[in-house]
Amino acid sequence: MKYLTAKRTIYGLLVIVLMLSLVTTVSALGNRTEATNTQEKTITVYISSLQINDSLATITADEINWYQGDEADRIFAQKDPEGAAEMGGTLDGYYIVNDEHVLQTYTINDHAQVLMQLYDPYTIKWNQEITLPQLIDVFSHSDIMQQSAIPYHLTLQNGEVTRIVQQYIP
């Protein structure tokens, strides 16, 4: 009799463990998500050119390293110790490093957001949204302001530009 009770208890425990395992498996399957390649990253660049050909917009740019604040002062001191000591740090709180001049071309998403700080070169308007054709027009009028000398932050998703933000520099 004791043997039968112990056997029933063990079988009962096994059934409970099995049921809990099934519930956990079903629960996990219900919440399962497929892995997708939606990696997003932001890079800072000097834009060399913007083009629209056959409804395909592209941007050709040279990636740079953009530093601000204490990090800018630290990098400046590493790169130019004499200049950093003489000036006491970066002049305007930022520092740009562009050791490698390599142009890369990216496709621009049809719905990419474009934000400017100096769309009108005489008035600062933070994150003024403009269209891609307006940005291309700005680049074609370099007599007013040399846009290729201004850093831009590009947000890339799956290798495609989804956002372009002009960096204000004093």
Higher pLDDT, 157 or 14: 157
* pLDDT score of 145: 72
* pLDDT score of 8: 52
Give me the helices (H) in the chain, please.
Answer: 2-30, 69-79, 81-87, 132-140
Residues 110-113: contacts with CB within 8 Å, 24+ apart?
110/57, 111/162, 112/57, 112/161, 112/162, 112/163, 112/164, 113/162, 113/163, 113/164
For residue 116, give the 3-state DSSP assignment. Answer: strand
* pLDDT score of 144: 64
Report yes or no: 59 and 161 within 8 Å, Cβ to Cβ: yes
* pLDDT score of 120: 79
Report residue 132's pLDDT band, with 50, 70 and 90 as the boundaries: very high
Q: What is the mean pLDDT of residues 51-73?
A: 95
Maximal C-alpha separation, the chain: 100
Q: Measured between alpha carbons, how far is 45 from 166 in angstroms, rounded to an integer?
A: 10
* pLDDT score of 62: 97
**pLDDT tens digit string along 33-61?**
444 556 899 999 999 999 998 889 999 99
Higher pLDDT, 85 or 6: 85
Q: Measured between alpha carbons, how far is 32 from 159 in angstroms, rounded to an integer?
A: 26
Q: Tokens for 95? A: 């520092």
pLDDT at 167 over 50: yes
Structure pTM?
Answer: 0.74
Higher pLDDT, 1 or 60: 60
**pLDDT tens digit string along 3-23?**
444 445 444 434 343 343 433
**Closest alpha carbon to 43 in 143, 145, 161, 132:** 161
Please state, for a pLDDT cut of 70, what percent of the chain lies above it.
Answer: 76
* pLDDT score of 18: 38
